[in-house]
Amino acid sequence: MKEQNKKKANVPLTIEQKIKRRNFISFGAFFALGGGAILGWKALLNAPEETPGITGGARAPLRRALNKTELFFRNFFSNNHLVKTYPQERAAKNVRVNSLIGIEDDENFDINNWTLNIYNNNKILSIKIEEIKALPKTEIIFDFKCVEGWDQIQHWAGVKLSDFLAHYKLDEQTKKKYMGLETPNGEYYVGLEMESVLHPQTLLAYEMNGEAITNEHGAPLRLIIPVKYGIKNLKRIGKMSFSNNRPKDYWAEQGYDYYSGL
Ligand SMILES: Nc1nc2c(c(=O)[nH]1)N[C@H]1C(S)=C(S)[C@@H](COP(=O)(O)O)O[C@H]1N2
Ligand SMILES: [Mo]
């Protein structure tokens, strides 16, 4: 019996047998890969969405790479890296107005009664614009970039956000991972990681080209955060909060990158 089997195995295969065997192997590989692809696709469809409401319902595995990129930039380009600045004569005289979400036709908004409200779960501070203007002033002339493809050299002034936070002794809050900002009516909102909040070029701005900020640019106080795209530069800040979880973010909910750094 043994002898016979051995002999059979040693008999060279005919051409036809070889073709059959190859076909078998290729079809096998085809079905295995196809099956793998289907299983992979199903796994992706069944994968949990990233924190709901934060990134427009993207599946977690798809976001992972972008989130890794975010971590990389956060670790290596933190606060030692300054964006380029320009001489004042380069600043645009006609500053472009982009979208007006949360600041347009708002009858409930009265600029004379405006205060910046700071929350740590509950409201802890309510600050008037005069108090903010009394803090040390910092100016910046930089290239403002919108994700929609335009950029413009602009001149802004206000208090460094890090100086502001130190002045109001919000050190405990700045140990949290994120800051959330919202318009007074809550219609536009952004989340920012604390490294960018504390970046030395990040301002709570109340002046543009040496004058009080106009309504369409976010009077009386807006965020200027040069390390981020325009979408994060919230106009007319009403509410500031702190958290370890990502605060809700208007454009991230529409699928834009939450980090939106340059
Ligand atoms: N409240 C509010 N802030 C906002 C926006 C907005 O629609 N509403 N748009 C953002 C976007 S996409 C950009 S590019 C800048 C534009 O600022 P500007 O209109 O002063 O040029 O504001 C940002 N801040
Ligand atoms: Mo933008």
Residues 41 and 145 in one domain: no
Q: What is the pLDDT along the chain (262 residues), one digit of tens a residue?
A: 444 444 455 667 777 777 676 676 666 666 677 666 767 667 777 776 666 556 666 777 777 777 777 766 666 555 678 999 999 999 999 999 999 999 997 788 999 999 999 999 899 999 999 999 999 999 999 999 999 999 999 999 999 999 999 999 999 999 999 999 999 999 999 999 999 999 999 999 999 999 999 999 999 999 999 999 999 999 999 999 999 999 999 999 999 999 999 9
Ligand 1: residue of 99, 156, 213 to mutate (most ligand atoms within 8 A of CB) is 99
- Residue partners of 185: CB distance under 8 A and separation at least 6: 102, 106, 108, 109, 238
Classify residue 252 as left (phi > 0), alpha (psi -120 to 50) or beta. Answer: alpha
User: Which ligand sits nearest to residue 95's alpha carbon?
Assistant: 1
Residue 89 DSSP label: G
User: Would 144 be classed as within a structural domain?
Assistant: yes
Q: Domain count of the chain?
A: 2
What's the token pair of residue 245? 């979880």
Phi then psi for 99, rounded to 5 degrees?
A: -70, 160
- Residue partners of 218: CB distance under 8 A and separation at least 6: 103, 205, 234, 235, 236, 237
Residues 111 and 183 in one domain: yes
Residues 120 and 199 in one domain: yes
The set of protein residues with a Cβ atom below 6 angstroms from ligand 1 is 96-103, 146, 183, 188, 217, 230-231, 233-236
Q: Is the pTM of this model over 0.85?
A: no
Instruction: Please tell me the residue having the least CA distance from ligand 1 atom 15.
Output: 230
User: Which CATH number fits the domain that encloses residue 247?
Assistant: 3.90.420.10
What's the token pair of residue 173? 């809050």
Residues 24 and 135 in one domain: no
Domain ranges, residue 244: 69-254
| The residue to which tokens 């809700």 are assigned | 248
